[in-house]
Amino acid sequence: MKDTLSLTWENRFASRADHMKSSAIRELLKLAELPDFISFAGGFPAPEFFPAKEIAATIDGICDSQSLQYGPTEGYRPLRELWAQRLGRKVEEVLITTGSQQALDLLGKVLVEPGSTVLVENPTYLAALQAWRVYGAKFHGTELDQDGLQVDKLPDQGQFLYTIPTFQNPSGATLSLERRHALIEWSERNQMPIIEDDPYGALRFDGEALPRLVDLDPHVVHLSTYSKTLAPSLRVGVLVGPAQLICKLVQAKQATDLHTSTLNQRIAFELDSNGYIEKHVQDLRRVYKERRDAMVAAVRKHFPPHTKMIVPQGGMFLWVTMDPDFNSVACLERCVAHKVAYVPGNNFHPYGVDLHTMRLNFSNTQPEMIEEGIRRIAEEL
């Protein structure tokens, strides 16, 4: 009798559970823990630069009963005020989330009607696709190039547009200033909300900073995070958007996890408001630029001459395009056997086509190992 109950779980799953699948990246990461493995797969910051001492010292000063008690769903008020001030907004327009991934989940919960179409870049961040598929989203992907999303190819129907305009994941492309203006115009013309995901914006190595989409139009819903500038494990993200939307997202968040860890929010607040993060990010830029350069050079040296890549001006990823008949999934299997990994490009496409691209993360591997890793991949091409 008991065994029968145990065996029936699959029959008890709701139909939305059909859309839940384990992320290819997460499964790969399990292999990447083997010794001598070089992984370009995860989107991991450089662990040797985490400000562990600064975080521990900060906690010593703030670990009090307010930091440990239940807190407001909207977030730790001084942290919300900091972001309101930073973006010239009201505090009611700022919500703290449990990492940016939660912002994606909450937006899906509140905005995605089953069967509706979400507009995305093609390729795009795979966990956004995962988050919204669960709520029944269909996707329309619009291609991007060196200058980011091809705005003139966007359709004029959809629930909202999700874009990562700066150092896009996975392509590394950055939306040009001209296209930023064109995108806002398209949004106004079609009354189409834009969700701007900006996890990497602070990590610029080359070129001049461009205005965020939210700087050009306050109706844009802007997502930021401390995962790339401080530490992912804190799970502190920031969503800035119209108060009417925030209000509904807060209701959704109440039922989802009550609130984000106050202790972790206060760590982020202290190290952001005292200027530490700004200084720390300058170090990260230098370190990541060096790693990007090492990877670009290694790909040029070891990959076939007709390999195409977008050289990113910042962020954490290099996007490589091989011959049209190249199969990056099959190649990955060979690579993993030789202790190196990347993410095949098809994972970032809403409908899984495109087998001749790969995403290579450079932030998580020291420069001297980057060339070795690229060499290992090149041997399997």
* DSSP element (H, E) containing 149: strand 148-149
Pick left, alpha or beta for residue 5 (phi over 0 → left; psi -120 to 50 → alpha; otherwise beta). alpha
Does 85 interact with a copy of itself (rule: CB under 8 A)?
Answer: no
Does 24 interact with a copy of itself (rule: CB under 8 A)?
Answer: no
Answer for which of 79, 213, 238, 245 binds a copy of itself (CB under 8 A) is 245
How many other C-beta atoms are found inside a 10 Å radius of the C-beta of residue 275?
A: 9
138 and 129 in contact (C-beta within 8 Å)?
A: no
Answer for which of 180, 222, 235, 292 binds a copy of itself (CB under 8 A) is 235
List binders of a copy of itself among 157-196 (CB under 8 A). 159-160, 187-188, 191, 193
- Binding string, 25-54, against a copy of itself, x = CB under 8 A? -x--x------------xxxx-xx-x-xx-
Does 251 interact with a copy of itself (rule: CB under 8 A)?
Answer: yes
> What is the dihedral sign for C-alpha 373, 125, 199, 31?
negative
In the complex, least distance from residue 324 CB atom to a copy of itself, rounded to whole angstroms: 31
* Residue 191, C-beta contacts closer than 8 angstroms, at least 6 positions apart: none
- Binding string, 90-119, against a copy of itself, x = CB under 8 A? --------xx-xx-xx---xxxxx--x---
Q: Please state, in angstroms and rounded to a whole number, the distance separating the CA atoms of residues 275 and 270.
A: 9
List binders of a copy of itself among 293-312 (CB under 8 A). none
- Residue closer to a copy of itself by CB (options 60, 325) is 60
Q: Residue 12 corresponds to which amino acid?
A: R
Q: Which residues of 93-114 are buried (b: 16+ CB within 10 A; e: fewer)?
A: bbbbbbbbbbbbbbbbbebbee
Does 316 interact with a copy of itself (rule: CB under 8 A)?
Answer: no
- Residue closer to a copy of itself by CB (options 150, 256) is 256
Q: Which residues of 183-217 are buried (b: 16+ CB within 10 A; e: fewer)?
A: bbebbeeeebbbbbbbbbbbbbbeeeebebbbebb
- Residue closer to a copy of itself by CB (options 42, 367) is 42
- Residue closer to a copy of itself by CB (options 70, 275) is 70
In the complex, least distance from residue 273 CB atom to a copy of itself, rounded to whole angstroms: 19
- Binding string, 140-159, against a copy of itself, x = CB under 8 A? -------------------x
In the complex, least distance from residue 284 CB atom to a copy of itself, rounded to whole angstroms: 14
In the complex, least distance from residue 28 CB atom to a copy of itself, rounded to whole angstroms: 12
What is the rounded radius of gyration, in angstroms, for the C-alpha atoms of the chain? 21
Axis-axis angle for helices 328-337, 367-380 (nearest 10)? 120
